[in-house]
């Protein structure tokens, strides 16, 4: 089987208005205004996780609903805790540049002697030409083509 995996960076936006109505729908007692930056990002993640496919469409850039100017502004908080997501809180009333996200392809190596793990960006390199930076031990490949989402 030749299954094709496409790693695409999808930009999902949850606008403040969408957050407000999601918050209201869940009938929380707290005022929306009292939510911290971290709580806003968690709320957005929850909204996306609970969204149906059609609801998700209203969050995707380049699908007719959300426009690029809704993510232009100053990033005032971010959450990197999940390696598969990069979450940013953007204040569109402040000036700033939209962030660029890239996918890096990397090779994961580990030292047979001390277990030290490292990543290198040249995924074509022969690991026997390298030594463990810690103790000079022999390196072997553990994961091929580890991908890392990188923010510029």
Binding site for Zn ion (CB under 5 A): 111, 113-114, 116, 132, 134-135, 137
Radius of gyration for the alpha carbons in the chain, expressed in angstroms and rounded = 20
Q: What is each CA distance from 8 to 89, 124, 148, in whole angstroms?
A: 21, 22, 12
Dihedral angle, C-alpha 10, 15, 21, 27, nearest 10 °: 80
Compute the least distance from the CB of residue 75 to Zn ion, in Å. Answer: 37
Pairwise CA distance, residues 60 & 71, whole Å: 11
* Backbone dihedral angles phi then psi of residue 91, each to the nearest 5 degrees: -95, 105
Compute the least distance from the CB of residue 131 to Zn ion, in Å. Answer: 8
Nearer to Zn ion by Cβ, of 59 and 110: the residue is: 110
Pairwise CA distance, residues 71 & 44, whole Å: 14
Nearer to Zn ion by Cβ, of 24 and 134: the residue is: 134
Compute the least distance from the CB of residue 127 to Zn ion, in Å. Answer: 13
- Nearest Cα neighbor of 87 from 134, 2, 19, 4 is 19
Nearer to Zn ion by Cβ, of 134 and 148: the residue is: 134
Compute the least distance from the CB of residue 14 to Zn ion, in Å. Answer: 44
Compute the least distance from the CB of residue 107 to Zn ion, in Å. Answer: 16
Nearer to Zn ion by Cβ, of 106 and 132: the residue is: 132
Nearer to Zn ion by Cβ, of 13 and 132: the residue is: 132
């Amino acid at each position: 089987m030749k299954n094709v995996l496409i790693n695409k960076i999808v930009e999902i936006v949850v606008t403040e208005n969408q957050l407000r109505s999601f918050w209201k729908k869940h009938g929380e007692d707290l005022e929306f205004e009292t939510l911290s930056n971290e709580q806003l990002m968690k709320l957005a993640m929850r909204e996306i996780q609970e969204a149906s496919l059609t609801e998700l469409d209203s969050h995707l850039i380049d699908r007719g609903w959300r426009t690029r100017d809704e993510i232009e502004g100053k990033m005032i908080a971010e959450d990197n805790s999940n390696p598969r997501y990069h979450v940013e809180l953007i204040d569109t009333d402040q000036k700033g540049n939209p962030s660029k996200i890239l996918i890096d392809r990397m090779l994961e190596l580990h030292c047979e002697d001390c277990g030290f793990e490292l990543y290198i960006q040249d995924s074509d390199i022969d690991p026997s030409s390298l030594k463990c930076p810690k103790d000079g031990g022999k390196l072997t490949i553990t994961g091929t083509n580890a991908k890392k989402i990188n923010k510029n």
